[in-house]
């Protein structure tokens, strides 16, 4: 199940409570973002089950996006232990995302 973040308080709480987080920024009007989201969710679910996946709609949570300097869609941020370890915007490949997450995920959870 996908959970959406809409406020800075939610974001702060999640980053403090969760060990590992993927933040997926997009809008409903972004065709690329809409097409990519289910692929990213499936990758996280299948390959990195300990990562928590959250979506943030830039139209409804602009304050959250601005606080993280996210101004384009789609953007993916990956956090381990409340620290950003990966950021990619616009052209995001699933293979690239897999490679970027694999090493820190293994180090963090093994």
% of the chain with per-residue pLDDT over 70 = 98
Pick 3-109's CATH classification: 3.40.30.10, 3.30.465.10, 3.90.1150.10, 1.10.1660.10: 3.40.30.10
d(CA 94, CA 102): 12
What pLDDT, on the 0 to 100 scale, is given for residue 14? 94
Cβ pair 65, 93 in contact under 8 A: no
Backbone angles phi, psi at 52, to 5 degrees: -100, 130
Q: What is the pTM of this model?
A: 0.93
- The first and second tokens of residue 49, run together, are 């089950």
The domains of the chain are located at 3-109
Give pLDDT, residue 103: 92
Digit-coded pLDDT (tens) for 14-59: 999 999 999 999 987 777 778 889 999 999 999 999 999 999 999 8
Task: Give DSSP secondary structure letters for 24-85.
Answer: EEE-TT-HHHHHHHHHHHHHHHHH-TTSEEEEEETTT-HHHHHHTT--SSSEEEEEETTEEE
The pLDDT of residue 105? 95
């Amino acid at each position: 199940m996908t959970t959406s973040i809409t406020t800075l308080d939610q974001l702060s709480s999640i980053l403090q409570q969760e060990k590992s987080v993927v933040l997926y920024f997009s809008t409903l009007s972004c065709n690329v973002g809409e097409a990519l989201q289910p692929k990213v969710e499936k990758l996280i679910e299948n390959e990195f089950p300990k990562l928590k996946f959250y979506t943030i709609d830039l139209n409804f949570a602009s304050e959250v996006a601005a606080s993280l300097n996210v101004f384009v869609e789609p953007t993916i941020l990956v956090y381990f232990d409340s620290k950003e370890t990966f950021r990619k915007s616009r052209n995001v490949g699933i293979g690239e995302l897999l490679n970027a997450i694999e090493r820190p995920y293994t180090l963090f959870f093994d």
